[in-house]
A and B are shown apart, each in its own frame.
Chain A
Amino acid sequence: MVRFKHRYLLCELVSDDPRCRLSLDDRVLSSLVRDTIARVHGTFGAAACSIGFAVRYLNAYTGIVLLRCRKEFCQLVWSALPFITCLENKGHRYPCFFNTLHVGGTIRTCQKFLIQYNRRQLLILLQNCTDEGEREAIQKSVTRSCLLEEEEESGEEAAEAME
């Protein structure tokens, strides 16, 4: 059918400086990505990518960003992301880089991927953490997420059984 197809790029902002993630703002990020595309792909790239471009989700604590772009120009946007080297905010420059985790056609698939990714990250954090208080907190979140996972699966099975 006739509709505009989009691609959703799930990226993670990785930086040494902890203040870098907190100073993330969707307007700052949007202008940063657009400027980088203009530098890397020229006026043609800037015009092509900015039609359907939007920052759909932004989490300042974990640094997860969800970008939307048109399907035809997804490659242009994706290839420009490694050229982002620093984030400028109020005169402070923080070196950072974008790690693309997942490319999906809908927000729902990206959300499913993000839930699984966060579960895995919790387990990795549990292995690496040193403080006892942190360890308990992470163990609680891990058990809570496992319970939620079982609920989801049983909910899906119940829905299939009803059909």
Chain B
Amino acid sequence: MPAPAATYERVVYKNPSEYHYMKVCLEFQDCGVGLNAAQFKQLLISAVKDLFGEVDAALPLDILTYEEKTLSAILRICSSGLVKLWSSLTLLGSYKGKKCAFRVMQVSPFLLALSGNSRELVLD
């Protein structure tokens, strides 16, 4: 009697993290422009809506931390939406008529990696 075929299951995780975290900073051409957290989020969503439409503007995007003085923030986006968010941040040119640009400083699938940045490390 032939032996029954051995069944096995192999589970492969290609990317264990569902979310990607980005550390970004908004720079304006002229100083003296302030945004609060709600306006910042509105800016991000309108950037994605311009480029990718209403469907992708509804992607679950969260601002985890926001500093008003330096206009820098840590964003969380689901992994499938990372490319769309990053490309719409790249193509954003102005806010209320004033020229601005987003600088992306760090991107990682793990939040812990954003706590330290080797580029900002100061060697004595």
A residues lining the B interface (CB < 8 Å): 37-45, 79
Chain A contact residues: helix, strand, loop or mixed? helix
Q: Does B54 contact A (CB under 8 A)?
A: yes
Segment from B44-52, B72-80, B93-101, B112-120 that makes contact with A: B44-52
Which of chain A's residues have a CB closer than 8 A to the CB of B51?
A: 42-44
Cα distance A37–B50 in the bound complex, in angstroms: 12
Q: How many of chain B's residues have a CB under 8 angstroms from any CB in A?
A: 9
**B34 interface residue per 8 A CB criterion:** no
Question: In the complex, how many angstroms separate the beta carbon of B68 from the nearest chain A beta carbon?
Answer: 29
Closest B residue by C-beta to A83: B54
Inter-subunit contact B54/A40 (CB<8 Å)? yes
Does B56 belong to the interface (CB within 8 Å)? yes
Find the A residue at minimum CB distance from B84: A44
Give Cα distance in the complex from A112 to B42, angstroms: 49
The docked-state distance in angstroms from the alpha carbon of A88 to that of B102 is 39
Task: Report chain A residues within 8 Å CB of B54.
Answer: 39-40, 42
